[in-house]
Amino acid sequence: MRHRQGVVVKLPVISLVLWFVAVSAVAGGTPPGLMPLDGRMAPALKLADMDGKTTDLAQMRGQWVLVHFWASWCGPCRREMPTLQRMREQIPVTDLAMVLINTAENDEEVFSFMGVVAPNLESLLDTDGQVTAKWRPRGLPSSFLVDPEGRLRYIALGGRQWDSPAYLQFLRHLTLERP
C-alpha cells in the first residue's frame, strides 16, 4: 500500500520534471531572432485566399501554426519568402501548418509576387489590413508561432532564414511538444 502511494506521488513529479526538461531543451535552442511570447491567445484570423477559399485559425487547433505577415513592396519579405518555401519542403504540414497573410494589397499584386518568389506557397489576403493590425506585428515581415492550444508562443524579429539548420532543428523540436 505504502509502495503504491509512493508511485502515485512520484508519477506527477516525474512527469513535471520530464516536461520541464523538454521545454528547457526547446528554450535553450531558440535560434537568434526568435523571441518567446507570454502565451496570450492569438487574435482571430479568418481570411480568404485568391481563390476565395477561407482559412480560420480557430479550426487549426491541435497543431503548431506559423503565421506570417508580408507585403510585396517590402524588401526583407522578398528575401524571406523563399526560405519559408524551402522550410515547408522539409517540415511536413502535419507537424507545422503555415498561414501566410498579405497585408493590404490586392490579389493581382499577390499573384505576381508569389508566382515569382514562392510559387509553391499560398497566401491569404488581408486587403484592408485590419486583421494584420489586430495581430500587432513588430513590422513587416513578421512571423508568429502559435501553439496547438492557439496561444502565441514566439515572434520572429524581422525577416529570418527559416531553412537554416538552427531554425529547422528548433522547429522540429518544437513541434514534438503536444498539448
Partner 1 sequence: MKPTNRQQSRLGKNTWPVVIVAVVMTLLATAMGEVWAQSGQRLSQESHGLKLRIAPRTPDQILAFYTARHLPEVAVKHLVAACLITVSVRNRSQKVVWLEPGRWRFVFDDGQSAERLDRQYWDDLWQQLKVPLGSRATFGWTQLPESRDLQPGEPIGGNMVLKRTDKTFSIEVRMATGKDKKGAEIVLRIPNVKCATDKVSS
Q: Which helix (H) or strand (E) holds 171?
A: helix 165-174
- 35 forms part of the interface with partner 1 (CB under 8 A): yes
Minimal distance in Å, beta carbon 137 to partner 1? 9
- 138 forms part of the interface with partner 1 (CB under 8 A): yes
In degrees and rounded to multiples of 5, residue 97 shows phi and psi of -80, 155
Q: Enumerate residues 6+ apart whose C-beta is below 8 A from 96.
A: 63, 64, 65, 66, 171, 174, 175
- 179 forms part of the interface with partner 1 (CB under 8 A): no
In degrees and rounded to multiples of 5, residue 64 shows phi and psi of -75, 145
- 91 forms part of the interface with partner 1 (CB under 8 A): no
**3-state SS assignment for residue 81:** helix
Give the orientation angle of helix 75-90 with respect to helix 107-117, to 10 degrees.
Answer: 60
Instruction: Retrieve residue 64's grid coordinates.
Output: 503548431
Is the Cβ–Cβ distance between 31 and 161 less than 8 Å? Answer: no
Choose, by CB under 8 A, the member of 29, 73, 116, 169 that binds partner 1. Answer: 73
- 139 forms part of the interface with partner 1 (CB under 8 A): yes
If the CB atoms of residues 68 and 88 are measured against partner 1, the closer one turns out to be: 68
Choose, by CB under 8 A, the member of 42, 47, 71, 124 that binds partner 1. Answer: 71
The runs of H, that is alpha helices, within 1-122 are 2-28, 75-90, 107-117
**Window contacting partner 1 (CB under 8 A); options: 21-29, 45-53, 66-74, 84-92:** 66-74
**Window contacting partner 1 (CB under 8 A); options: 5-13, 44-52, 136-144, 145-153:** 136-144
If the CB atoms of residues 62 and 158 are measured against partner 1, the closer one turns out to be: 158
- 33 forms part of the interface with partner 1 (CB under 8 A): yes
Give the residues lining the site for partner 1 (CB under 8 A): 32-33, 35, 71, 73-74, 103-106, 127-130, 132-133, 138-140, 157-158
